[in-house]
Amino acid sequence: MTVAEAVRGARGSTVDSDGTGAAVRHEELRATVVDWFEGAARDLPWRAADRTPYGVLVSEVMLQQTPVVRVEPAWHAWMEQWPTPADLAAAPTAEVLRAWGRLGYPRRALRLQECARAVVERHGGVVPGTEEELRALPGIGEYTAAAVVAFAFGRRSVVVDTNVRRVLARTVGGVALPAPSYTAAERAQATAVAPESDADAARWAAASMELGALVCTARAPRCGACPVADLCAWRRAGYPPDAHADRRRTQAWTGTDRQARGRVMAHLRQADAPVDRAVLATSWPDAAQLDRAIAGLVEDGLAEQDEAGRLHLPLA
């Protein structure tokens, strides 16, 4: 008998203090999702037994708004080139940006190197194991700190990414999708659902994220394959539509300043010498937009200009 089956057998026999039975429902939800995860979990390198806290940290930064299929090869190459925080801290910034490649949002690469330098300076090159210490590092926010604590150290934290938010919104909240911005009510809900013990909380974090990534997806949820379909409040409510649909906007890409910045960065990563603006203009003819892209990259520390106005990756 699985843990989920044992809990299911006790459903309704125990209620929490307000009589709602929420504690039992939460326990059944957790147990069922974790049982499913045991057989459905993807074999990812940052989940391997020999993972390091630094490797987990790198994966979490890379995975922000970037799919696993693009991150996995980049992660392997990164860890081979810079296997420790000290290695990354000492690396030339231009090489770090080249290695980041097309993972998107290259400022994350700069923040990751800044983080590695801080780990070396403040913690002797060892990634710290508490959320407070992690959040004090450059570029590390609430989610990343909680994820490293759970997945690298196996300690209790409340790990909430977009996948977990969606799983909880549907199974517990009964709505199609959570609000566009993370709310205090969601944080409280996620904290209430998370198990108390270190090992159980870490496993629930990984399992709930995987459910959201593979089954409880945003646009085409596979409800027929969901292990907790019978527990889902959204399903019981008849799948009501997204209440926040009018507030959600798909970010444009074609013709945007972001695309222009990406084109410039692609040139700089491939170049062995500083690149003249005229060369950059061949791939982005809108002069005003190109100027904005160049100025933004320089301001963000992603590019530098020499005395002749040619652009190159940072030399430091």
Residue of 27, 28, 60, 304 marked catalytic: 60
Contacts 24+ apart (CB under 8 A), 47-50: 47/151, 47/206
**Cα dihedral 79, 83, 88, 92 in deg (nearest 10):** -70
For residue 127, which of 79, 64, 85, 75 has the smallest C-alpha distance? 85
- Partnered with residue 285 across adjacent β-strands are none
If you search the block for the tokens 């391997």, which residue do you land on? 48
Q: Is 60 a catalytic residue?
A: yes
Token pair belonging to 42: 């993807």
Q: Can you tell me the distance from the alpha carbon of 182 to that of 233, in angstroms, rounded to the nearest whole number?
A: 20
Q: Can you tell me the distance from the alpha carbon of 36 to that of 255, in angstroms, rounded to the nearest whole number?
A: 43
Q: Can you tell me the distance from the alpha carbon of 130 to that of 144, in angstroms, rounded to the nearest whole number?
A: 11
Q: Can you tell me the distance from the alpha carbon of 314 to that of 298, in angstroms, rounded to the nearest whole number?
A: 9
For residue 167, which of 99, 215, 109 has the smallest C-alpha distance? 215
Residue ranges of E strands in 113-267:
none
**Are the CB atoms for 97 and 314 separated by under 8 Å?**
yes
Token pair belonging to 298: 């320089």
Active site (catalytic) residues: 60
